Amino acid sequence: MKLHDVMPLLGFGTYGRWNEEGVEAILAALEIGYRHLDTAQTYDTESQVGTALQRSGLARSDVFLTTKISTENYGAGKLIPSLETSLGKLDVEQVDLTLLHWPSPNGAQPLGEYLEPLLEAQDRGLTRFIGVSNFTIALLEEARSIAGEGRISNNQIELNPFIQNKKLAQYCVEHDILVTCYQPIAHGHLGEDAVLVEMAKRYSVSPEQLALAFELAKGYAAIPTSGKVERIRSNFAAQQLILAPEDIALIETRDRNLRAIAPDWGPDWD
Ligand SMILES: NC(=O)c1ccc[n+]([C@@H]2O[C@H](COP(=O)([O-])OP(=O)(O)OC[C@H]3O[C@@H](n4cnc5c(N)ncnc54)[C@H](OP(=O)(O)O)[C@@H]3O)[C@@H](O)[C@H]2O)c1
């Protein structure tokens, strides 16, 4: 079974969905039809996801759950217990996808030290699929050589019309690693681009819907978030939008390599 076959490509991001308001936004997303929720140990939203899932009345098997291991939990003896804590907060036996949230800050820990326990977590059935986030081509090469062919099934990276990460995304596509776009709507800033605004008007959609339709057309997954029901709904509706090939090509020209998330301890980007 491949990740591409089971992960709904449009998911709901949960960064910032805190407290009861957060639970309500996640629940609204489930009611609107999202069947993929993205959380992380550092977001402090795993319990909100668990509560919303419970309240929705949906079966566990109906919703694809992703969490990410914090770099603080890297290493033998730490990673698996931290994932067990995440399962407790989510109130599930198993997550669908577990990612290494970032490469070890400043490369301080060798990759094997924190990838091996993730492989073990998958072998023990704590997670169906495993993957990485914010990994460069060099790190993916290393991860694939440690893990063996076919085990690293996802790389979650910053990707939207302003930062298209073309080289890295191409590498992932070539090696059957599903790309998930975070900040897929550039945090609501797409309306600053006159070309996108004009195209959105032509299709009678929002620039955010344009971006999401573009990412899905490229075969990527995308995980926008919002605290507002109308936006949660309109982002979801982007799945209905089919863009003409010439418009996909025009969106490709809007790439400005405008990276919003680049901590100084992060990797040297491709
Ligand atoms: N792996 C990683 O390192 C990493 C890093 C960052 C994010 N992520 C994941 O990716 C998810 C999404 O990224 P993100 O939250 O940074 O950015 P995003 O989804 O691109 O943007 C969210 C922002 O855009 C606004 N927004 C939402 N829908 C909108 C619409 N239709 N029109 C205009 N504005 C809209 C939201 O404000 P309102 O709430 O006011 O609507 C919010 O401020 C996160 O929740 C998280 O799950 C992962």
Which residues on neighbouring strands pair with residue 97, listed in sequence order?
66, 129
43 catalytically annotated: yes
Tell me if 260 is assigned to some domain.
no
Q: How confident is the model at residue 71 (pLDDT cuts 50, 70, 90)?
A: very high
Give residue 37's domain range.
3-252
Span 202-230, average pLDDT:
98
Q: How confident is the model at residue 156 (pLDDT cuts 50, 70, 90)?
A: very high
CA of 15 to the centre of ligand 1 (A): 7
CA of 225 to the centre of ligand 1 (A): 4
pLDDT at 124 over 90: yes
pLDDT at 3 over 90: yes
Q: What percent of the chain has pLDDT over 90?
A: 99
Which residues on neighbouring strands pair with residue 64, listed in sequence order?
36
Q: How many domains does the chain contain in total?
A: 1
Q: Say which of 43, 114, 182, 220 is annotated catalytic.
A: 43
42 burial level (CB within 10 Å; 0-12, 13-18, 19+): middle
Distances from the Cα of 177 to the Cα of 122, 153, 173, 180, angstroms: 17, 5, 6, 9
Q: How confident is the model at residue 70 (pLDDT cuts 50, 70, 90)?
A: very high
* Best probe residue, ligand 1, of 65, 187, 225 (max atoms within 8 Å of C-beta): 225
Span 43-65, average pLDDT:
98
Report pLDDT digits (tens) over 17-35: 999 999 999 999 999 999 9
Q: Give the residue from 25, 23, 62, 28 showing the smallest Cα distance to 46.
A: 23
Instruction: Please give the pLDDT value at position 44.
Output: 98
Tell me if 266 is assigned to some domain.
no
Tell me if 209 is assigned to some domain.
yes
Tell me if 265 is assigned to some domain.
no
Tell me if 76 is assigned to some domain.
yes
Distances from the Cα of 104 to the Cα of 111, 112, 233, angstroms: 7, 11, 36
What is the Cα–Cα distance from 258 to 262, expressed in whole angstroms? Answer: 10
Mean pLDDT in the chain? 98
N- to C-terminal Cα separation, the chain = 30
Tell me if 246 is assigned to some domain.
yes
Tell me if 161 is assigned to some domain.
yes
* Best probe residue, ligand 1, of 183, 220, 258 (max atoms within 8 Å of C-beta): 183
24 burial level (CB within 10 Å; 0-12, 13-18, 19+): middle
Instruction: Please give the pLDDT value at position 230.
Output: 98
Instruction: Please give the pLDDT value at position 75.
Output: 87
Instruction: Please give the pLDDT value at position 9.
Output: 98
What is the Cα–Cα distance from 255 to 237, expressed in whole angstroms? Answer: 24
Ligand 1: list residues with CB < 6 Å. Answer: 13-15, 38, 101, 133-134, 156, 182-188, 206, 208, 223-228, 231, 234-235, 261
Q: Which atom of ligand 1 is nearest to the CA of 186?
A: 20
Q: How confident is the model at residue 94 (pLDDT cuts 50, 70, 90)?
A: very high
CATH of the domain at 52: 3.20.20.100
Span 135-156, average pLDDT:
97
> Is the Cβ–Cβ distance between 21 and 51 less than 8 Å?
no
pLDDT at 190 over 90: yes
Long-range contacts of 249-256 (CB under 8 A, 24+ apart): 250/195, 250/199, 251/161, 251/196, 251/199, 251/210, 251/211, 251/214, 252/164, 253/195, 254/161, 254/162, 254/193, 254/195, 254/196, 255/161, 255/162, 255/163, 255/164, 255/166, 256/162, 256/163
Tell me if 217 is assigned to some domain.
yes
pLDDT at 76 over 90: no
CA of 62 to the centre of ligand 1 (A): 23
